[in-house]
Amino acid sequence: MQLRTISQALDVAAGREGAGFAFVQDDGTEEEWTFLALAERSRAIAVGLAERGMRKGDRVALVLPTAGEFVPTFLGVIRGGGIPVPLYPPMGLGQLGGYLDHARHIVSAARVSLVITNAQIKTVLGKLHDYVPELRQMITVADIEGDASLFRDPGLSPDDIAFLQFTSGSTSRPKGVIVTHENLNHNCAAIMRDGLASDDSDRGVSWLPLFHDMGLIGFVLAPIHYRVPITFIPPLMFLKRPASWLEYLSKHRGTITYGPNFAYAIATKRVRDRDLEGLDLSCVRIAGCGAEPIQAETLRAFAHKFGQVGFRAEAFVPSYGMAENTLAIAFSRGIPTDTVHADPLWGEGLAEPVPEGAAVESLDAVEIVGCGEAFPGHGIRIVDPETRVPLPERRVGEIQLSGPSVMQGYFEDPESTQKTIDEEGWLSTGDLGYLADDQIFICGRQKDVIIVNGKNYYPQDLEWVAGEVDGVRTGNAIAFATHRPGLAREAVVVVAETRDADGHDDLARKVTAAVQQSTGLTVDEVAIVEAGTIPKTSSGKVQRRKARELFESGQLRKLQAESKLQTAAHVAGSQIAHLRLRIFGPRK
């Protein structure tokens, strides 16, 4: 494989005449940039940034809400030798305090020298200089003017850092993943060549945010490496009207698209029959699904509804990935599932298959979607979380990864790096899963597992069941364990969002019954809350630890009357916090 930097890959892509990126605006108009034009624009931005004092190796935070601003600027920073640090833009004033704390953490952890944003967000970000001594200035895209003819190559090599991808922080404070140009070379090949078998006939359509690795690497950097044209839809356009995703796929004859499980669920639920008129999805060759637990029923429902306009279930590509492995880990095709007995899975960590042809509905069974095998040159293995000894097939343990896509480490955090990557180069993911016929099956996050009476329950399973109850917003349920005085085990809580104005107690009873029927677990409490209450990461993943903290502190406002469990958890949490303060002193 010929290793290239992103800038070199863009220059090669510029040779494909007419190909490039199209950016859909909020009003539906499209701005088109060929790869040749993007290459030229990146040089002009690099010159402008050099005039602003950017030097090779400087970290540059990008807080840009539109793809049309983000992509050329990201490429320009790299072209000039800077290291981009993508940062999601503020979503609304209601969560501004939490956003500013998040932004300060990343800008400080990356020791950012320069922030590039727009005029409105520049005002919101305020005095970041007070928190980051290295931060020299904050500028807008409009402030960057440069003459491309004055560009001087900074001499990048494949082993240089391409950018810092901060983790979404679902279980801890975000950490800066070091992604090199060489990492990208190998992972882009795994995605486009080994996983998707892409060629010059492909065209991608994406609404995925570019501050997240699936959107940035999957639909900007990998397509540049393989000269694939892409149409970018604003994420809010999709969220407000999911039919827009399908309309642009049909209009541009898109062959490749991706989305998390919830995207396929809300498209199935919210796209009306009259929206199907004129759609033709027979062009879709790849419909990837990743970034969160994949539910087979979600994919089947999508394929059933949109099969009438040409969509084929064979187009699905269930995918497993994470920032610490650059992006992609494994892909499968169609909807491959493994149906296993629930009791051995939860109680013993054994994925015991249900006999083929058995009446699954009458059994205590779990259906898990397979995400495929390791890419060539890469490895996947399952180890005991405590001993790190490799486990045989169909034994649940922690997933570990190896190969050239594995990150170099966390930026200026050798302690976390050492805990995550062992001396042999195996990356510990924190995810639980098992192998069957070399295919990886994901069960959940190790830190999120709920243990009741010696049995393991994966919160994703409880959340999926709760999310299927009529009245609960699709993809907006969260499950976690909490302390309850006098109880000899952890108490299990499910929080579910609704838009309904009444009937909350009845909805809670329905969720409790559905979870009990599906998993055999009796939930201790179901909290029904307003839409937008459940805390999520910038990439849309639910934050179970934060939700638990809000619940225990009494800050999670329920639509039902406050329960004894929440009151007890609040009191217990206060007592534990007071005891911790007496013993250890205030947190640093």
pLDDT in tens, 297-312: 999 999 999 999 999 9
Q: Between 364 and 323, whose confidence is greater?
A: 323
Among positive and negative, which fits the CA dihedral 236, 242, 246, 248?
A: negative
What 3-state class would DSSP assign to 233? coil
Please list, in sequence order, all residues whose beta carbon lies within 8 angstroms of the beta carbon of residue 218, skipping any fewer than 6 positions away.
191, 206, 208, 258, 288, 327, 328
How far apart CA 178 and CA 96 sit, in angstroms, is 28
> What is the model's pLDDT at position 568?
47
457-487 residue pLDDT tens: 778 888 888 988 999 998 799 998 886 655 5
In the three-class reduction of DSSP (H, G, I as helix; E, B as strand; rest coil), residue 166 is classed as strand
3-state secondary structure 176-214: EEEEEHHHHHHHHHHHHHHHCCCCCCCCEEECCCCCCHH
Closest CA to 226 of 236, 217, 214: 217
Q: Which region holds residue 155: left if phi is over 0, alpha if psi is between -120 and 50, else beta?
A: left
Report how far residue 182's alpha carbon sits from residue 218's, in angstroms, rounded to the nearest whole number: 16
pLDDT of residue 482: 81
Q: How many CB atoms lie within 10 A of CB 528?
A: 23
Structure tokens at 141: 């895209």
pLDDT for 254 beyond 80: yes
For domain 6-183+206-225, give the fold.
Answer: Rossmann fold (3.40.50)
585: pLDDT strictly greater than 50? no
Stronger pLDDT, 544 or 489, i.e. the higher one: 544
Contact call for residues 60 and 83 (beta carbons, < 8 A)? yes
Instruction: Identify the residue with better confidence: 586 or 482.
Output: 482
Task: Locate CATH 3.30.300.30 in the chain.
Answer: 450-584
Contacts of 503 (CB under 8 A, 6+ apart): 471
Q: What is the CATH number of domain 241-336?
A: 3.40.50.980
In 228-385, at which residue ranges do the beta strands (DSSP E only) sit? 230-232, 256-259, 286-289, 316-321, 328-331, 337-341, 365-369, 373-374, 379-383
Q: 492-534 pLDDT, tens per residue?
A: 999 999 988 888 999 999 999 988 887 778 899 999 999 889 9
What pLDDT, on a 0 to 100 scale, did the predictor assign at position 543?
83
Q: Residue 5: which of 324, 224, 191, 216 has the closest Cα?
A: 224
Its pTM stands at 0.81
pLDDT at 582: 31
Class of domain 450-584: alpha beta
The H-or-E segment that residue 84 falls in is strand 83-86
User: What does the pLDDT read at residue 131?
Assistant: 77
Query: For residue 139, what is the enclosing H or E element?
Result: strand 137-140
Give span(s): CATH 2.30.38.10, the chain: 337-448
Instruction: Say yes or no: domain 337-448 is CATH 2.40.30.10.
Output: no
In the chain, CATH 3.40.50.12780 sits at: 6-183+206-225
For residue 304, the surrounding DSSP H or E stretch is helix 296-306
**Residues in Cβ contact with 84 at an 8 Å cutoff, skipping those fewer than 6 apart:** 60, 61, 62, 74, 77, 78, 163, 164
Reduce the secondary structure of 412-450 to three states and give it as a string. CCHHHHHHHECCCCCEEEEEEEEEECCEEEEEEEHHHCE
What's the chain's average pLDDT? Answer: 88
Cα 539 to the chain's mean position, in Å?
Answer: 5
Q: Which residue has the higher pLDDT, 56 or 468?
A: 56
User: What's the CA gap between 124 and 138, in Å, rounded?
Assistant: 12
CB crowding 138-172: b at 16 or more within 10 Å, else e? bbbbeebebebeebeebebebebbbbbbbbbbbbe
Fill in the DSSP letter of residue 395.
B
CATH 3.40.50.980 segments of the chain: 241-336
Under 8 Å CB-to-CB from 423, ≥6 apart: which residues?
A: none
SS (H, E, C) 254-272: CCEEEECHHHHHHHHHHCC
- β-strand pairing of 286-289 with 256-259: parallel
Task: Check residue 94 and give its pLDDT.
Answer: 52
Residues 6+ apart with CB under 8 A from 185: 1, 3, 4, 158, 225
Please give the full DSSP string across 14-81, using - where no structure is assigned: TTSTT-EEEEE-TTS-EEEEEHHHHHHHHHHHHHHHHHTT--TT-EEEE--SSHHHHHHHHHHHHHTT
